[in-house]
Structure 1
Amino acid sequence: MYISRIKIQNFRLLKDTTLNLKEDLSLLIGKNNTGKTSILVLLEHFFENKKFHYEDFSISLRKDINALTDDTDIDRLSIRLFLDIQYDEDDDLSTLSDFILDLDPEIKVAKILFECCIDKKSILKKISEVKTDDKLKFIQKNLSKYLITKIYAYNDNDYTGSEYIFKFRHKLIEKDLKNVNRLIGFEVIHARRNVASSEDRKKAPLSALTTSYFNSKHDSETPDENVSSINTLLSDMDEKLEAKYKPIFENFLKNAKDFLEIENLNVRSDIQSKALFDNSSVVTYGGVDDVLPEHLNGLGYMNILHLLLEVERRKDKFEKSGSSLNLLFIEEPEAHTHPQMQYVFAKNIKSILSDVKCLQTLITSHSPHIVSHSNFKDIRYLKAVDGVVEIKNFYSDLEKEYASEPKQFRFLEQYLNIQSAELFFANKVIFIEGTTEKMLLPLFIQQLDKKLILENAECLPLISQNISILEVGANAKAFGKFLNFLGVKTLIITDIDTTRKLGSSYSACSVNDGEYTSNYSLRHYLDSPSEYSDKDWPKWFKKLKESNLTCAFPDIRVSYQTEENGYHGRSFEDAFIHVNLTKLKDSIKESEDKIWGLKNTSKFNSESNIYELTKEVLDKKSDFAASLLFQSLSEGVVWNMPAYIEEGLKWIAK
C-alpha cells in the first residue's frame, strides 16, 4: 500500500500540480521558489488541522475572493489536496476500507480529497456590516476565520475529465481526520534544525535529542527491553545507596523524630532513568582513551547526527502509531552540511529507512551533491512557469524524449551522476568545449560585466546570475533534450571546426578553404543535412559561415567563430590570436617567457596568415591559457575577447 499520486489545486504556486510518487522514496528538486516547501506546508495543514490564510490561496483566485458575492461559485475557489492510494489484496485494508468506494476487484486505488473552502454565507453576512472601503482589508485579514476544512472519500474511476468534483459533489463521502490518521502516519523533519555552534555550551541539542528519544522509549506502554534492563539496574543501585544513606542522614533523622514525632522517616534512593538520562547524559566523540563533548564537533557533523537522530525518533513514532501507511517528509537534509556528508546521506538514507513497514519518504533538496548520488528514477523536478509550478518525473519523462537516442541518454545519466548535477539548479548554463575556454571564460565574464555596468548601472552582472559553466567537450549535443526539458537558457561556446575532403578522408583546414564541419554539436543544434553528400549541404554550410542559422531549441544559442576584421577563425586559439596579435607580439618582444605554451615565437614576425601561424606557434594550450590569465591578473593586461564569445555572453546576460 502506498500513495501513488498527490494532486494539489489552488495553493500558493501550486495552482494545478500533480506529483507521482515512488513506493519508497521520492526526491523533490528544483530551484528556489518552485513549490517544494509549499507541498510540505499543505500536507502539514491538512494532516495536522492547521489554519489556512488568505495568502495561501493562489494569486489567480484572489481577484474573485476579493469580489465575493452570492453568485460566486465557491467550489472553484477551494484549496484541494487529492491522494490516490494504491493497494493490493495482500494489504491490511482495515483502515483503508473507509475510503474504498469502488468494489471492482480490478480497481486497486482508493481516493481521498482534502478541501479548504470558504464559508460564503457567514463571510458575506459579516462583509455586509463592513464599510465598502474596508471590504478588501477585512477579507485579507479575516478570511482564515471563515474557512472550513473537510475530508472526503470519492470515486471518479468511471469518469474521464477534470470536472468530477464540481459535477458530482453529492457523491463525495465525508470523513473525519481521525479516519485519515488511522490510515496514514505523517511526520516531518524540517530544515531549520536546532543545531548549536561550537561556542554554545548550554544543554547541547544532540544530547537533548537523545534524551527525548530515550523518554519516548521509556514512556511506551510496552517499554523496550533495554529500557527495562536499565530500570532493573537502577533498582539494584537504589538498595545499595540506601544502605550508604543511613549513616550520612542519621543525625537529621533522629532530630526530625525528636522534634516532630514522625515515625519511620527515611531518605530513600529513587533513581529515575528518565531524570538520570536527562541530567547526566552527553553525546561525545573521539577515541577510546580521550573524548570531546559534542559542542566541539563541527557544525556539518552536528547537523547530520541531529538529522539521523530525528529519523530514528520518527521511525519510533511510526512503529507506535500502528498506521497502515507512513509518510515521512525530510526538508533540505543538506542544510549546514558539507558535500561529503551529503553524499553519505544520499547513499544510505534508503537503507536507514528500510526497516519501517509501509514507509514512503519525500525529500526536498537543491543540493547537486545529493542529486548526483541518488537514483535518478526517484527524482521529481519542480519548475515554475509563469508563476505556476509543474512537476516532471525526471527519469521516465526524459527517457521518452531520448527514446530514439538511448546512447545519449545513458551518457547524460552517467555525466549527471559522476560529473555534476548542478544543471538542475542553475538559472542559466554555459557549455564550453576545451581547457583554454574553461580557464579564460571567467576572465571574459568579468571584463564584460564591467562593460555592461558602465552602459547600464542597474544591469545584473553575469557573475551574480547563478550560471553554471561546464566543460562537456564535443558532447554538447547529448544535452539538448535535457536542457529543453528543464527549460533553462543555455549558451554553447564551440568551434566551427571546418574540414575539406582529401581523398577518402576529411582534414582540418582554414574556414576559407572549408566545405564541411566536423563539429557534431553544430550540426545537431543548427539542424544540418544528415550527410555531407546531401544536395542541401552547400547551402547549409554557407549559412553556417555567415552565422545565418537558427538553433532548433528556443532557449539555446550556439556561439562559434565568425569573421572578424577580415579573418574567420576556425578555433578559439586562432580567433584569440587574431584579435590580440599586437598585444601578443609586444609581450613576446618584452620577454619570451611572458607567454607560455608557445614555440617558434619568431614566426610572429612572419607574414603567415593567422591559421598557419597558430599551427606553427601553439605548443601547449593549457600553458598558453594559464599565461594569458596570469598576465591579466598580475600585470593588468586586458585581452580582447573574440566577437563570437562576447555576443554569446551578451545574449545569456539578458
Structure 2
Amino acid sequence: MKIKKIKIENYRLLKQFSIDLEEIMSLVIGKNNTGKTSLLTVINSFLNGSDKSRFSFDDFNIDFKNDLRALIEGELPQEEDYKSVGIKLKLFIEYNEADNLANISRVMMDLDPKNRFIVLGFEYCMTYESLVKIKQKYAEFQANEATKLAGDENYRKRDIFYFLKVYQGQFFKSSRKSIEYNRIDEIENEDKFIDLDEEKISTKDIISFKFISAKRSVTNKENDKTLSGQTSEIYNETEKTDEQNEKIEQFKEELISTDYALSEIYETLFEDVVEKVRLFGGIKSNDSTIKIESSLQHRELLSGNTTVMYKHNDTSLPEYNNGLGYMNLISMIFQIEILIQEFKKKKDEKPADINLLFIEEPEAHTHPQMQYVFIKNIKSLLDQGIVREDGDNRKLQTVITTHSSHIVSESNFDDVKYLKKEDENNVIAKNLVDLKKQYETDLTQYQFLKQYLTISRAEIFFADKAILIEGDTERILIPTLLKKIDKVEERRYAAMEEKDTKLPLSSQNISIIEVGAYSQIFEKFIEFIGIKSLIITDLDSVGDDTKKCRVAEGTSYSNDALKLFFNNATLNQLKAFTIDDKKIKKNGEVWEVEVNGNLCVVYQTMENTVNARSFEDAFIQINREFINGRKEDFRGLKNREFFDVATNDSYKLAEECIRKKTHFALDILYHTNEDFTNWEIPQYIKEGLLWLK
C-alpha cells in the first residue's frame, strides 16, 4: 500500500497542486519559494494538527483570498449551486492483492478489483450555512466600521481581509472524507463520499506521518547535547530483544551496587552542608535533617547519562568538538532511527498501513562530498523499511526536499519531482521521468540528457535563468562578460542620471551550462523547466563542399541547433535576423518568433562590415588593437607575426594564430583592466546578455 498522488488546493502557493510519489523515495526539488515547505506543513496540519490551530487566514492562497472576498461581498448563491470552498488535501492511496485491507475496508468506495484506489480527503472549508452566517457577520462589521468612521474622521477603516484574519476561524471547519474515485478517467466524485467524522473512522491506522524539519536543533556549542539526548530517545523507543533485556537487568544491578557505594561517598562529601541545613532547625528534632543519596537506578536509563563522543586519531572527543556538518548528518540519522521506532509502535499495537516520512533539506551545514554520501546511502537505509521483532514489517515511503544540486546529481532521475512557479500565486509539480515521453523518437538523446544533468549540471533546476554555451572558451569568459555588461550599464545610466531598475546580471540567479554542440538536445528540457534561457552558439558557415569557410563565402551552415530553433532558415536569412527575430517560443512542435518568448538564441552578427563565424573570429575582429599590443604575452597564440599583416582578416587570424582556445580565453582575462574597459564584447553576446538581464 502506498500514496500514489497528493492533491492540494488553496494552501499558500499550492493553489491547484498535484504531485506523484514514488514507492520508496521522492526527491522534491525547486528554487526558493516554490512550495516545498508548504507541502510538508499542509500534510502535517491535516494529519497531525488540532482543529483549533490548524490554519490561519495567511495560509490561504492569494487568489483564493480574492475569490473569498468576492463571495462574501457578492450576492448569495443558490444552495444547490454552492460547493464548499477552502483548503483541501487529497491522498490517493493504491493497494494490491498482497495488502491487508482490514484498516481501509470501512473507507473503500469501490470494490472493483481493477480500481485499487481509495482517496482520503481532508478539508478546511466554509459550508453554505457558514457562508450565510459570515455574510451577516461582515454586514455587522461594516456597519460598525462606518459608525467609527463617522465619529472620528481620522479613524483608519479596516477592510474585509482584516475581518477575515480575525473571524475566519469561526466559519471554516475541518472535515475528513473518503471520496469516490474513477480510476479510468482519474476523476474524484466529491458528491459521493463517506463522512469519516460522522462515522467515527480514524485514519491513524491507515497512515502515519512524521517529519524531520530543516530547522534542526543541532549546534556545536560546548553545552549542546543534542546527539547525546537522541541516544536516550532511541533507547526508549527501540523494541528490545530477550538478549537486550537480559543486559538491561545486568545494567540495573550494577547501578544499584554503584548507588550504595556513591551514597557512602556522598555522606562524607556533603557532611558540612547537611549539618548547616540541620542547624536551621524545625518544629521538632531532626525536622530539617537531609541526606544525599545516589539514585541512578531510579533515573530514566541513559537519559542525561550518556555522551556521544567521536574518535580523532586515538583520542575520544565530545560531540560539540565536531563540525556542524557531521553533527547535522549524525543527528539526522539518529532522528530517522527515532522516527522509525515510533512508526513501529508498541508490541500491542500495529504499525499503520502507510508510513510517510518527510525529510526537509538534509544538506544543511554539509559540504558537497557529504551530500553525495548522504543521498547515496539514504535510499538503502529507507529501503529496509520498518522491521519489527514480531515479523509485522511495513514499507517506509519518504519525501525529501532539497536545494542541493549535489544531492540531485547523485539521485535516481525517476525519483525527482520538480516544483515550478506557473505564476505568482501557483506552483506545479513535474515528474522528470515524464521527459522520457517527449524523447520517444530518440531515446538516445534522453539517455544523454539524463546522464548529463545528473552528473554535471543539476544546478539548472534551482536557477531563475540559464545560459547554454558551447565550450570552455565561453565557460571561462561568461562570468567576466556578465560583470563587464554590469559595468557598462552602470556607466550608461549614470551618464543619463537615471537609475537602472533591473538587477545586475552578476547578482541574478543564472546557471551557466556547457552543452557543446548539443544545445538542440536540450530543447525539450528548456521547455520543460520553463526558465528564461539564452543559447550562445556559433554560426558555423560552410561552403558548397560542406567545409568551414568565411561567412561571406558560405552558402549554408552546419549548426544543428540553429536549424532546429529557426526551422531550417537559410544562411542569408540567419544573417538578416535582428535580435527580436531570435527571441522564440515553442508552439506545438515548432519554435516561432515571439518577442516575449522565454528563449533567445544568439550567434555572430555583422560588425564592422564583417560577419564572424566563431567567438574567436568575432573577438579578434573588434579587439585587434587590444591583442596586438599584448600578443607577445598571449600564451594561447602562435604565428604572432600574422597580426602585423593588415590584410590578414580576423577569420584567418582565428584559424591560424590561436594555439589553444582555452588559453586564449585565459589570456583575455589576465590582460583585462580593473574597469573592464580595454576590450569590447562581440555584439551578438552583448545583445543576448542584455535580453537576459
TM-score under structure 2 length normalisation:
0.84
1:127-172 Cα shifts (integer Å, max 9, x gaps): 344244356222222212332100011213289586832xx25765
The DSSP-based 3-state class of the residue aligned with 1:383 is strand
Give the one of 106, 121, 125 matched to 1:117.
125
Residues 223 and 270 of structure 1, relative CA distance in 2, 3 Å threshold: farther
Deviation at 1:350, TM superposition (A): 1.3
Does the CA contact (< 8 Å) of 1:574 and 1:614 recur in 2?
yes
CA distance, structure 2, for counterparts of residue 421 and residue 557 of structure 1: 21
| Matching residue's letter, 1:63 | N
CA distance, structure 1, for counterparts of residue 409 and residue 298 of structure 2: 44
CA distance, structure 2, for counterparts of residue 636 and residue 560 of structure 1: 23
CA distance, structure 1, for counterparts of residue 20 and residue 426 of structure 2: 17
- Mapped pair 1:130 → 2:151: no
- Mapped pair 1:388 → 2:411: no
CA distance, structure 2, for counterparts of residue 103 and residue 626 of structure 1: 70
CA distance, structure 2, for counterparts of residue 576 and residue 277 of structure 1: 70
CA distance, structure 2, for counterparts of residue 227 and residue 125 of structure 1: 65
| Matching residue's letter, 1:187 | K
CA distance, structure 2, for counterparts of residue 261 and residue 629 of structure 1: 88
Output aligned runs, 1:300-311, within 5 Å: 300-311=325-336
Deviation at 1:602, TM superposition (A): 1.8
Which consecutive residues of structure 1, in runs of 5 or more, have no partner in the other structure? Answer: 529-538
CA distance, structure 1, for counterparts of residue 242 and residue 690 of structure 2: 65
Give the one of 445, 449, 463 matched to 1:408.
445
- Mapped pair 1:232 → 2:257: no
Does the CA contact (< 8 Å) of 1:242 and 1:267 recur in 2?
no
- Mapped pair 1:577 → 2:620: yes
Deviation at 1:176, TM superposition (A): 7.0
The residue number in structure 1 matching 2:577 is 547
Give the one of 521, 524, 529 matched to 2:561.
521
Give the one of 397, 401, 404 matched to 1:364.
401
The residue number in structure 2 matching 1:31 is 31
The residue number in structure 1 matching 2:3 is 3
CA distance, structure 2, for counterparts of residue 441 and residue 556 of structure 1: 18
1:165-194 Cα shifts (integer Å, max 9, x gaps): 2xx257656467861112111101000001
CA distance, structure 2, for counterparts of residue 572 and residue 30 of structure 1: 33
| Matching residue's letter, 1:111 | V
The DSSP-based 3-state class of the residue aligned with 1:491 is strand
| Bigger mean CA offset, 449-458 vs 363-372 | 449-458
CA distance, structure 2, for counterparts of residue 243 and residue 335 of structure 1: 46
The DSSP-based 3-state class of the residue aligned with 1:632 is coil
The residue number in structure 2 matching 1:377 is 414
Deviation at 1:304, TM superposition (A): 0.9
CA distance, structure 1, for counterparts of residue 471 and residue 412 of structure 2: 30
Does the CA contact (< 8 Å) of 1:52 and 1:147 recur in 2?
no
Output aligned runs, 1:180-219, within 5 Å: 180-197=203-220, 200-217=221-238
- Mapped pair 1:632 → 2:650: no
CA distance, structure 2, for counterparts of residue 422 and residue 351 of structure 1: 25
| Structure 1 vs Structure 2 CA RMSD | 2.9
The DSSP-based 3-state class of the residue aligned with 1:79 is strand
Does the CA contact (< 8 Å) of 1:343 and 1:369 recur in 2?
yes
The DSSP-based 3-state class of the residue aligned with 1:317 is helix
The count of residues paired between Structure 1 and Structure 2 equals 622
| Bigger mean CA offset, 116-125 vs 182-191 | 116-125
Does the CA contact (< 8 Å) of 1:75 and 1:117 recur in 2?
no
Deviation at 1:367, TM superposition (A): 1.1
Deviation at 1:244, TM superposition (A): 7.3
Give the one of 77, 80, 105 matched to 2:88.
80
The DSSP-based 3-state class of the residue aligned with 1:142 is helix
Deviation at 1:617, TM superposition (A): 2.0
| Matching residue's letter, 2:422 | V
CA distance, structure 2, for counterparts of residue 601 and residue 159 of structure 1: 72
CA distance, structure 2, for counterparts of residue 179 and residue 162 of structure 1: 24
CA distance, structure 1, for counterparts of residue 40 and residue 327 of structure 2: 24
The residue number in structure 1 matching 2:148 is none
The DSSP-based 3-state class of the residue aligned with 2:119 is strand
Output aligned runs, 1:5-404, within 5 Å: 5-50=5-50, 51-67=54-70, 68=72, 71-72=76-77, 75-118=83-126, 119-132=130-143, 133=145, 134=158, 136=160, 137-157=162-182, 164-165=189-190, 168=191, 174=197, 179-197=202-220, 200-217=221-238, 226=244, 229-239=247-257, 241-242=259-260, 245=263, 270-272=295-297, 275=300, 277-287=302-312, 289-320=314-345, 322-355=351-384, 356=386, 357-386=394-423, 387-395=425-433, 397-404=434-441
Deviation at 1:33, TM superposition (A): 1.4
| Matching residue's letter, 1:507 | K
CA distance, structure 2, for counterparts of residue 582 and residue 360 of structure 1: 64
CA distance, structure 2, for counterparts of residue 273 and residue 638 of structure 1: 79
Residues 208 and 358 of structure 1, relative CA distance in 2, 3 Å threshold: same
The DSSP-based 3-state class of the residue aligned with 2:218 is coil
Residues 558 and 174 of structure 1, relative CA distance in 2, 3 Å threshold: same
CA distance, structure 2, for counterparts of residue 642 and residue 90 of structure 1: 66
The DSSP-based 3-state class of the residue aligned with 2:228 is helix
CA distance, structure 1, for counterparts of residue 286 and residue 636 of structure 2: 102
Deviation at 1:245, TM superposition (A): 4.9
CA distance, structure 2, for counterparts of residue 464 and residue 177 of structure 1: 55
Give the one of 522, 525, 529 matched to 1:486.
529
Does the CA contact (< 8 Å) of 1:98 and 1:179 recur in 2?
no
Does the CA contact (< 8 Å) of 1:31 and 1:366 recur in 2?
yes
Deviation at 1:54, TM superposition (A): 1.1
Does the CA contact (< 8 Å) of 2:107 and 2:194 recur in 1?
no
Does the CA contact (< 8 Å) of 1:6 and 1:83 recur in 2?
yes
Output aligned runs, 1:430-469, within 5 Å: 430-454=467-491, 455=493, 456-469=499-512
Residues 247 and 363 of structure 1, relative CA distance in 2, 3 Å threshold: closer
TM-score under structure 1 length normalisation:
0.88
Output aligned runs, 1:499-510, within 5 Å: 499-502=542-545, 506-510=546-550
| Matching residue's letter, 1:216 | E
The DSSP-based 3-state class of the residue aligned with 2:370 is helix
The DSSP-based 3-state class of the residue aligned with 2:304 is helix
CA distance, structure 2, for counterparts of residue 19 and residue 64 of structure 1: 24
CA distance, structure 1, for counterparts of residue 207 and residue 198 of structure 2: 14
Deviation at 1:467, TM superposition (A): 0.4
| Matching residue's letter, 1:95 | N
1:202-231 Cα shifts (integer Å, max 9, x gaps): 1322122222322334xx7x7885365234
Give the one of 620, 644, 659 matched to 1:605.
644
Does the CA contact (< 8 Å) of 2:229 and 2:304 recur in 1?
no
Residues 277 and 575 of structure 1, relative CA distance in 2, 3 Å threshold: same
The DSSP-based 3-state class of the residue aligned with 2:630 is helix
Deviation at 1:107, TM superposition (A): 2.0
| Bigger mean CA offset, 151-160 vs 138-147 | 151-160
Deviation at 1:333, TM superposition (A): 1.0
Does the CA contact (< 8 Å) of 2:26 and 2:415 recur in 1?
yes
The DSSP-based 3-state class of the residue aligned with 2:337 is helix
Deviation at 1:492, TM superposition (A): 0.9
| Bigger mean CA offset, 223-232 vs 597-606 | 223-232
Identity %: 38
CA distance, structure 2, for counterparts of residue 470 and residue 625 of structure 1: 17
CA distance, structure 2, for counterparts of residue 148 and residue 428 of structure 1: 42
The residue number in structure 1 matching 2:587 is none
| Matching residue's letter, 2:364 | A
CA distance, structure 2, for counterparts of residue 394 and residue 248 of structure 1: 66
